[in-house]
Structure 1
Amino acid sequence: MAAPPGVEAALQLLGRISRTEEPFEELRALKVALQALPPAALRERGPDFPLAGLFALMGRGDSSEQISLCVVILERFLQVIDPLYVIQHFGEELQKGLFHPDDAVKILTISQVGRIVEDPDAVREILNTPELLRQVIYCIAAEKIAVAKEAIKALSRVAEAPEGLEVLLVGNLLVDLKKVMAKSDIVRYRVYELVIGISSVSADSLNYCVNSGLISELIAELTGNDVLVRATCIETVTALAHTHHGRQYLAQQGVIDKISNIIIGADTDPFSGFYLPGFVKFFGNLVIVDSPQQICERYPAFVEKVFGMAEGQDPTLFGVGVDTLGILGSNLEGKLVLQKKGSRFLSLLNRIGHQAKNAPTELRIRCLDAISSLLYLPPDQQTEDLLVLTESWFSSLASHPLELFRSISTQPFPDLHCGALRVFTAIANQPWAQRLMIASPGFVEYVVDRSVEPDKASKEAKYELVKALAGSKTVAEIFGNQHYLRLRAYLREGPYYVKAVSTTAVEGAE
């Protein structure tokens, strides 16, 4: 099949580049020509592009501009070539690219390795080229974080194939991984990130990682005495807890119990502020993916610490405590756990309401988000008892909570404005809240007033509030037909509707 005219012109430029001593103009022209071509046109032309001259130019690296142009052009060509063809015909060039001093070349090369290992036919070629994989492993230690991230991503893809797991985590490449870890603390945590990412894929992947000994090393650091290391490691271990098989492993190894015991001992540790937020977030993540009631009953130290943080004076710990309460109370089971705390939780709600009004902006937003999470009840859970519960929680936030959030919603700070609207949206489908709204002078007029929403986020937040109200089965009866019809009209017009203004001229008017 003949190539389209644009492709032929690009190929002529490509051929000319390798024969020119100063190829800048040709490189610039080729870059422009390729940007104008759809990838499909190049793909139709076939894979046998004469790229050797480009690879040589990039490797020679006469200037950063030349290297940059070569990278952009090669990326365009390589992305349309079958991965198997790339590794079979350019494997040596890719290997050289991993040693190149320019980070852009390394990123291009590693991204191609990532493409190749996703192809079931091409991955075998990579696995039979251990030197290439070894150099990708050493790129985890790159100074530029973008190179390290690309290497981690590519190696994670290698491990998605069963034979890739074997090659990477058994034998010589495992030795290389451990050598890389020894370069610095930062690089060691990057390798842990890679290993936990691989472990999260399946129980088999986790077994390989456990047998490599790397997860045991991570857990030993997590439960060791270095508070800064603890703070770093807990985030990585939390990622493992997102999967069922990961949580099973952590429970069987007693890791969750150890984390709970460290939280208990934090009261007597003057340095606990470094790691405590991460440890509490770990349990907060368990609550999201597991049974809140079981987690709180088995690890009461977690709940006690969350309350203590939210009741304390440290703004950092207060923020984590409030975030975690919002997570815990986001579903029915968690709400019932909090309800058992009785007056202590109601007092805490009053403090959260006070902070939503008076704290620094970032903390106010977190309070508003937690309040929204705590107060929301899906329609199918709106029993009489639960509606009484959310109404009592709302009333505990302030002496006049509806007016509190209305005052926040009129402030000229989009994040606070939207946060208050999310609180209204959370309670909008509950009859007690609708009665409060209709009893508040001008509230419904505020809801349907588009002029008070200055930006896209605010318009969308207001629309969500209107949608929640208009979709409620009780709103027509409580608000009355006229207000209900205004809500339906707003909903029908969408979030960005602007009313047309008539400019008809009247004869004789000045």
Structure 2
Amino acid sequence: MINSDTEQYRIFINNLQREEFRHSALNDIKNLLTFKPAREAIGTIQNVGITKIVRCLNVPEKTHVDLTCEVLRICFEKFNPGDVIKTYTGHIMYLLRHEKSCVRKLAIDEVYKALSTDINTLPVAEYQDVFVATGQMVTDEDLGVANTAIQITSMLPPEAYPRVLEEMKIAFDGSSSVKCNAFEVAINISIRAPELFRLCADQEYIDFMVSELNTNDVLYQLNILELLSQLAVKAHGISYLVQRGVLQKIAVLVEALHRNLLGSLLVPGYLKFFGAVAHSYPREILDKYPILVECLFDTIDSGDPGTLPVALDTLGFIGNTIEGKLCLASLGSKYTQAIQKVGQIVRNSPSDMKVRALQCYASLIGYSQDPSAPKSGPIDHRVTLMTREWFRTLSTNPGPMETLFEMCKYPFPDIKFAAFSLLDSVCQHQWGEELVARTAGFVEFLLDRGMDQTKEAKEAKYDIIRRLSHSPAFDSNILMRLQTYVEQGPFYSEDALQVAMEEGD
């Protein structure tokens, strides 16, 4: 920016001191800076400063405050991420603690821009106060400001946290939503690394969260369970929860749900927590906490549309691993009855519930998503025998594969995709490949590219055919057709090939 523009900027800045000129002066600054290249604008802004602009935030007129925020935002946009905070640290601290939410939002956006670009752009030793002020803003009454504060405080450099977490405890005296904001930060930090988790635990965030489960506020309780579920899937998290007796406490709370008038609203939250833990530690949870198992099976048996979707997801999540399948099978008749109920849901329920039940079946029968499963060669013969029996519960008349075949042909994309997911799981087993080979018309259906219109269905079918393309269940002619399909890819089209050939001619 040339000197004449700098002098003009200085004149506009000085005009801000007179109330009758303030509005026009702010607009003049806005118009002067908006389209100036950053390199030119920065020199002038730093030469003259922004102090008198900041003072305009302390006037009663809302229009002046809004316009002042707009002018400051234009000034800040000229700087590289972090440079505004480095150059105007005192001003940023003032803005972060301003009484007007639009001003706080302006300042916290600058902190977010800096840290999201490079977490180390603001050294902790120099900007600890900025981090503390941001951490305290998780309690902000403005939802947008609080959410940005949560994002920032969740990604600070590790050395910032001892003091930030200590100062952020002001949230413990706030409303349930404010406390949840602080809990969210603590969990986000805790799942980053065991050392950060220990810091949160030492500052009593985890214990305080657990103690708050005794609340009568259903939404608050569900939010805490959701956050604890995220922690429970981490080895250091579940270890701490077990040591502190948290799982036993949750089991007691589950047992009391039937005496709570709002118990049905809480069931999904407890099931989600239970599923998150049992997915990673099925034997420990299913053996030691039978009340959680009973809650899961009772919910599936009840057919309550409000709680059934989460119950189906939970059952599938637990049985997604080989160890989970074996642990579920060890429960005996209770589990057998549960999976028979899932089959009834597939056959007799509305579309949305049918989809959830099919996805549950797919998780229980397939094993490809289990990182501990063998990449090649046979799996545990018990799994082979169990999953075949479980698949038979899908339908008896017609048989399960005929029923699945019909659902793969459904015109509804969501049901068709869920059916393909189950078919993919079935085809992970030799008995499944053999059932496909014996089901009249199934292979022809799979090879017919005209049956599927959506990208998801084409990709799902392609994955199934790729599984089958080397199966000993088929004769050489079928194998050759399957392998040709795989070579051509999921989106091959005779029409597209013909067009390409004609264009080549």
Query: TM-score by structure 1 length?
Result: 0.80
1:282 aligned partner: 273
1:478 and 2:477 correspond: no
Output the amino acid matched with 1:269.
N
Conserved in 1, the CA contact under 8 Å of 2:42 and 2:78?
no
2:89 aligned partner: 91
1:78 aligned partner: 80
1:390 and 2:387 correspond: yes
1:303 and 2:293 correspond: yes
Name the CA distance, whole Å, in 2 between partners of 1:391 and 1:367: 17
The correspondence of residues 352-391 of structure 1 with structure 2, limited to 5 A, is 352-378=342-368, 379-391=376-388
Match of 1:147 among 145, 148, 152: 145
2:457 aligned partner: 458
**TM superposition shift of 1:144:** 4.5
1:432 aligned partner: 431
Match of 1:230 among 205, 221, 238: 221
Output the amino acid matched with 1:222.
L
1:190 and 2:186 correspond: no
Percent sequence identity over matched residues? 24
Output the amino acid matched with 2:477.
Q
1:206 aligned partner: 197
The correspondence of residues 320-359 of structure 1 with structure 2, limited to 5 A, is 320-359=310-349
Name the CA distance, whole Å, in 1 between partners of 2:285 and 2:111: 42
Conserved in 2, the CA contact under 8 Å of 1:328 and 1:335?
yes
1:242 aligned partner: 233
Query: TM-score by structure 2 length?
Result: 0.80
**TM superposition shift of 1:55:** 5.9
**TM superposition shift of 1:373:** 0.6
**TM superposition shift of 1:426:** 0.9
* RMSD between superposed Cα atoms in Å: 3.4
**TM superposition shift of 1:392:** 1.1
Greater shift, 193-202 or 107-116, is seen at 107-116
Residues 95 and 397 of structure 1, relative CA distance in 2, 3 Å threshold: same
Name the CA distance, whole Å, in 1 between partners of 2:490 and 2:308: 35
Q: Secondary structure at the match of 2:155?
A: helix
1:161 and 2:151 correspond: no
Name the CA distance, whole Å, in 2 between partners of 1:201 and 1:432: 42
Conserved in 2, the CA contact under 8 Å of 1:368 and 1:423?
yes
Output the amino acid matched with 1:92.
G
**TM superposition shift of 1:256:** 0.9
Match of 2:211 among 203, 220, 228: 220
Name the CA distance, whole Å, in 2 between partners of 1:119 and 1:255: 36
**TM superposition shift of 1:371:** 0.7
Residues 288 and 344 of structure 1, relative CA distance in 2, 3 Å threshold: closer
Conserved in 2, the CA contact under 8 Å of 1:310 and 1:321?
yes
1:38 aligned partner: none
**TM superposition shift of 1:303:** 1.6
Q: How many residues align?
A: 465
Conserved in 2, the CA contact under 8 Å of 1:209 and 1:215?
yes
**TM superposition shift of 1:271:** 2.5
**TM superposition shift of 1:346:** 3.3
Unaligned runs of 5+ in 1: 1-7, 35-41, 505-510
Residues 486 and 70 of structure 1, relative CA distance in 2, 3 Å threshold: farther
Name the CA distance, whole Å, in 2 between partners of 1:14 and 1:495: 62
Conserved in 1, the CA contact under 8 Å of 2:279 and 2:319?
no
**TM superposition shift of 1:58:** 7.9
Name the CA distance, whole Å, in 2 between partners of 1:415 and 1:54: 59
Name the CA distance, whole Å, in 2 between partners of 1:428 and 1:353: 19
Name the CA distance, whole Å, in 2 between partners of 1:239 and 1:347: 30
Name the CA distance, whole Å, in 2 between partners of 1:199 and 1:502: 57
Residues 55 and 396 of structure 1, relative CA distance in 2, 3 Å threshold: farther
Output the amino acid matched with 1:458.
A
Conserved in 1, the CA contact under 8 Å of 2:365 and 2:391?
yes
Q: Per-residue CA shift, 1:350-383, capped at 9, x if unaligned?
A: 3212222432333222111111111114454534
Name the CA distance, whole Å, in 2 between partners of 1:49 and 1:448: 67
Name the CA distance, whole Å, in 1 between partners of 2:498 and 2:434: 37
Output the amino acid matched with 2:474.
F
1:294 and 2:293 correspond: no
Name the CA distance, whole Å, in 1 between partners of 2:235 and 2:77: 39
Q: Per-residue CA shift, 1:128-151, capped at 9, x if unaligned?
A: xx2x34432343233443422221
Residues 345 and 246 of structure 1, relative CA distance in 2, 3 Å threshold: closer
1:39 aligned partner: none
Residues 397 and 135 of structure 1, relative CA distance in 2, 3 Å threshold: same
Name the CA distance, whole Å, in 1 between partners of 2:66 and 2:140: 19
**TM superposition shift of 1:73:** 7.3
Output the amino acid matched with 2:379.
Q
2:483 aligned partner: 488
Output the amino acid matched with 2:152.
A
**TM superposition shift of 1:68:** 5.6
Name the CA distance, whole Å, in 2 between partners of 1:299 and 1:383: 26
Q: Secondary structure at the match of 1:478?
A: coil
1:5 aligned partner: none
Residues 433 and 214 of structure 1, relative CA distance in 2, 3 Å threshold: closer
Name the CA distance, whole Å, in 2 between partners of 1:352 and 1:70: 59
